[in-house]
Amino acid sequence: KAGVTQTPRYLIKTRGQQVTLSCSPISGHRSVSWYQQTPGQGLQFLFEYFSETQRNKGNFPGRFSGRQFSNSRSEMNVSTLELGDSALYLCASSPVKGASSYNEQFFGPGTRLTVL
């Protein structure tokens, strides 16, 4: 099976712009979660989608949004970019509902976003 893929791998934007990141989960996986990693920080949970519905959201401002399509592919959007949004954004898929409990997460390689 192909792994989780994320596009693009690298992105450079300027403050005030918006950006869309894409994540294709492993075939058959219906849950997609997004995480942000900044230097010195652990992975911070952004949100989780299951069957096209956002089930859970972390403590991030409304500038961070996402969606999931019927084929389970997910996109994450960040509007009005700030310098502090520079980070590695990882998505992870799981075969069942919930980024939690007994379900290991399968991570993609990440998108490195740099905001200038």
Partner 1 sequence: ILNVEQSPQSLHVQEGDSTNFTCSFPSSNFYALHWYRWETAKSPEALFVMTLNGDEKKKGRISATLNTKEGYSYLYIKGSQPEDSATYLCAFSNDYKLSFGAGTTVTVRA
Q: Where are the beta strands (DSSP E) in the chain?
A: 5-7, 10-13, 19-24, 31-37, 44-50, 53-57, 64-68, 74-78, 87-94, 106-107, 111-115
Let me know: does 39 contact 84? Beta carbons within 8 Å: no
Distance CA 73, CA 54 (A): 13
Within residues 33-62, the interface with partner 1 by CB under 8 A covers 33, 35, 40-45, 48, 55-56, 58-59
Considering only 32, 81, 87, 90, the residue that binds partner 1 (CB under 8 A) is 90
Which tokens in the block code for residue 46? 């952004």
The smaller minimum CB distance to partner 1, of residues 59 and 70, is found at 59
Q: How far is the CB of 86 from partner 1 (least distance, A)?
A: 18
Q: How far is the CB of 29 from partner 1 (least distance, A)?
A: 13
Residues that bind partner 1 (CB under 8 A): 3-4, 33, 35, 40-45, 48, 55-56, 58-59, 90, 92, 98-110
